[in-house]
């Protein structure tokens, strides 16, 4: 595992790289996409730069951005990358995850000798090996980290790109209610000075009314476990989008006495997804890691194969009991 880098060393890595490829996690959200585009904005002025996207379906906000920027970015699929032509001077940058199993295509990681991770999640056993790490776990989002880099580079940034970065921060902080620090608010202020539009952010974060109606059903089957943990289960016959589970988990934190939440629902025929949220005073990360997922003290997620929703609920409760017994 590589060393934790500072901004000066990152700038040196970028300078010594010929071509730079940017890749985030699967099921892109506005923090992942916004940080990719924000970094692309820094790099493509002097480097040939590409954003790798293999996702075939996108959440509504991501879909809006990709449509609006169609033709403005060098977006490629991983299958377009020729291993034999990568060479030693090209760089792969992984954003908004350090978990090798969660990237758009884990196989191409080994194509590159030079790898850099920029992320705000805790490192784990699944952290990408042989990569340089720029990880700031005190940051609200990867968009906050990229905003710091934009200020460090002191470059002009289009107001649209500033808006995308602000949208990523708003998303990951759940409207500045989770994992915020003075630097989070400063980043929002700085992006506003660059022309970021709060109105446009709200447009990007708008939900599809049918998805919203479906996700509201997740709020009808809630159990308060150990007085402060809300556990919600989806309908066993309904397939949910992962962002629906995540959004519901965040919503549950608005209710009295709820300090952490777990939302469980099928995300595919034989896959059950779990999204967990906390104000930081409950160790949801350790629980989700035991279930094969990851994240941090504030938001975590996992997908479990070949289990029912009720079986996954029992697994979560068993882990909660273990944590409280330690």
Residue 180 covered by a domain: yes
pLDDT at 311: 95
Domain shared by 180 and 221, yes or no? no
Strands 222-225 and 229-233, sheet pairing? antiparallel
Domain shared by 105 and 132, yes or no? yes
pLDDT at 325: 67
pLDDT at 158: 94
Domain shared by 179 and 254, yes or no? no
Number of compact structural domains in the chain: 2
Domain shared by 157 and 75, yes or no? yes
Structural domain containing residue 28: 7-204
pLDDT at 4: 56
Could you give the C-alpha distances from 76 to 21, 53, 56, 103, in angstroms and in order? Answer: 9, 6, 12, 15
CATH number, domain of 73, equals: 3.90.1640.10
Domain shared by 76 and 192, yes or no? yes
What is the rounded CA–CA span in Å between residue 251 and residue 293?
21
Domain shared by 117 and 174, yes or no? yes
pLDDT at 3: 47
pLDDT at 179: 87
Domain shared by 94 and 223, yes or no? no
Residue 41 covered by a domain: yes
Domain shared by 14 and 33, yes or no? yes
Residue 1 covered by a domain: no
**Domain stops at, among 175, 204, 233:** 204
Within 10 A of 83 (CB to CB), how many other CB atoms are there?
10
Residue 147 covered by a domain: yes
Residue 2 covered by a domain: no
**Domain stops at, among 169, 204, 239:** 204
Residue 127: CA count within 13 A, CB half-sphere: 21
Residue 311 covered by a domain: yes
pLDDT along the chain (326 residues), means of 10: 70 94 95 97 94 93 95 96 90 95 93 95 88 93 96 92 97 89 96 96 85 77 91 90 87 91 93 92 86 85 92 94 75
Domain shared by 219 and 98, yes or no? no
Domain shared by 179 and 229, yes or no? no
pLDDT at 66: 97
pLDDT at 2: 44
What is the rounded CA–CA span in Å between residue 142 and residue 48?
22
Domain shared by 69 and 186, yes or no? yes
What is the rounded CA–CA span in Å between residue 85 and residue 137?
34
pLDDT at 326: 55
Domain shared by 219 and 200, yes or no? no
**Domain stops at, among 165, 187, 204:** 204
């Amino acid at each position: 595992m590589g060393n934790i880098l500072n901004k000066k060393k990152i700038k040196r890595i970028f300078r010594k790289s010929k071509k730079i490829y940017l890749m985030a996690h699967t099921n892109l959200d506005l923090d992942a996409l916004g940080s990719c585009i924000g970094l692309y904005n820094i790099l493509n002025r002097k480097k040939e730069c590409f954003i790798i996207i293999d996702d075939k379906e996108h959440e509504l906000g991501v879909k809006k951005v990709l449509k609006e920027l169609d033709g403005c970015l060098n977006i490629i699929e991983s299958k377009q990358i020729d291993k034999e032509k990568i060479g030693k001077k090209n760089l792969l940058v992984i954003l908004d995850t350090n978990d090798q199993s969660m990237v758009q295509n884990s196989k191409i990681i080994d194509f590159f000798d030079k790898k850099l991770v920029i992320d705000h999640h805790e490192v784990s056993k699944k952290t990408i090996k042989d990569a340089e790490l720029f990880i700031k776990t005190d940051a609200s989002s990867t968009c906050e980290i990229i905003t710091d880099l934009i200020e460090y580079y002191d470059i002009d940034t289009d107001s649209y790109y500033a808006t995308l970065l602000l949208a990523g921060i708003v998303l990951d902080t759940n409207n500045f209610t989770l994992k915020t620090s003075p630097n989070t608010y400063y980043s929002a202020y700085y992006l506003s000075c660059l022309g970021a539009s709060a109105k446009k952010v709200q447009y990007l974060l708008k939900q599809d009314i049918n998805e919203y109606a479906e996700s509201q059903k997740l709020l009808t089957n809630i159990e308060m476990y150990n007085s402060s943990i809300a556990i919600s289960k989806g309908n066993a016959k309904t397939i949910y989008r992962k962002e629906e589970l995540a959004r519901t988990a965040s919503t549950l934190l608005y209710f009295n006495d709820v300090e952490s939440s777990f939302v469980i629902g099928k995300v595919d025929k034989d896959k059950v997804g779990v999204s967990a949220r906390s104000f930081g005073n409950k160790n949801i990360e350790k629980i989700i890691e035991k279930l094969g997922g990851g994240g941090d003290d504030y938001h975590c997620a996992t997908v479990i194969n070949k289990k029912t929703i009720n079986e996954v609920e029992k697994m979560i409760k068993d882990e909660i009991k273990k944590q409280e017994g330690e």
